[in-house]
Amino acid sequence: MIEIKNIEKSFGDTTVLKGISATFETGKTNLIIGRSGSGKTVMLKTLLGIHQPDKGNISYDGRIYSELTPDDKRMLRTEIGMVFQGSALFDSMTVEENVAFPLRMFTSKRRSEIREHVNRVLDRVNLQDANKRYPAEISGGMQKRVAIARAIVNNPKYLFCDEPNSGLDPETSIVIDKLIHEITVEYNMTTVINTHDMNSVLQIGENILFLKNGIKEWEGDKEEILETRNKSIVEFVYSSDLFKKVRENLLAEEEEENNKKA
């Protein structure tokens, strides 16, 4: 579990995060959503330790980051997995070499142990026969699964995903969402996802944090987001014609149900 309390972050005269408090739960997919400029990318980078908050605390399972020693911070980094936007695979490395990279960097496992562990993780993301292929030789969806495999190969406690469905078609996006949710539960990780994909919100949004102008405007889950009367959420979620139609149907069903009760 990751807890943030009264987090503030400014760059020069611009305050990007304004006193945000929230809890990201273990074993659940925690989503940060909001329009461009809302502060969600800065929030993710602050959680990762790339940015240091000006005020407030971040704690990882009770460990307050600002109170950790340099050695403790290095240890914490080994407990973090990251899925980057665009996958960020090494073009000159094979799939197997990309996934093995964190194990070579952070563990003293023998080559045979690394190979066995990599194969096990690739099998989990349904890439059993892709070991010797290069990123340019596989599809965008497969590249994303390689990125997920690399992120979880070291059995992290915390998994961060930055726009994991960026550039993917809707069908592949659903597959990636399902995979992230499944491994979150299986590995019992604290997963935090930065996304603007409303399909992801409605599919796997077990805990959703909506930011607006650096403020926590709303917090809830995928069921509550469909029922909320918060104007900012309604304008954000139902900005497309498709979701407007979904909302109209939901409101019509709600009105019909209320009429029956009356």
Q: What is the DSSP string of 192-261?
A: EEE---HHHHHHH-SEEEEEETTEEEEEE-HHHHHH---HHHHHHHT-SHHHHHHHHHHHHHHHHHHHHH
| Weakest-pLDDT range from 22-31, 74-83, 128-137, 246-255 | 246-255
Residue 262 clears pLDDT 90, i.e. is over it:
no
Q: Which residues contact 207 (CB under 8 A, 6 or more apart)?
A: 23, 24, 25, 28, 29, 30, 31, 219, 221
Give domain status of residue 37, yes or no: yes
Give domain status of residue 120, yes or no: no
Give domain status of residue 36, yes or no: yes
Instruction: Please state the domain count of the chain.
Output: 1
50-142-201-46 Cα dihedral, nearest 10 degrees = 0
Alpha carbons 79 and 192: distance in angstroms, whole number: 14
207-255 pLDDT, tens digit each: 999 999 999 999 999 888 888 888 888 888 777 666 667 767 776 777 7
Alpha carbons 68 and 91: distance in angstroms, whole number: 35
What local confidence, expressed as pLDDT, does residue 24 receive?
97
Give domain status of residue 255, yes or no: no
Alpha carbons 85 and 144: distance in angstroms, whole number: 9
The CATH number covering residue 53 comes to 3.40.50.300
Residue 14 clears pLDDT 90, i.e. is over it:
yes
90-92-94-96 Cα dihedral, nearest 10 degrees = -50
Give domain status of residue 190, yes or no: yes
Alpha carbons 72 and 216: distance in angstroms, whole number: 30
What's the burial of 144, exposed, middle or buried (CB within 10 Å: 0-12/13-18/19+)? Answer: buried
Give domain status of residue 113, yes or no: no
pTM equals 0.87
Residue 46 clears pLDDT 90, i.e. is over it:
yes
3-state DSSP assignment of residue 126: coil
Place of tokens 């405007």: 217
Give domain status of residue 187, yes or no: yes
Domain span holding position 39: 2-79+156-220
Higher pLDDT, 165 or 24: 24
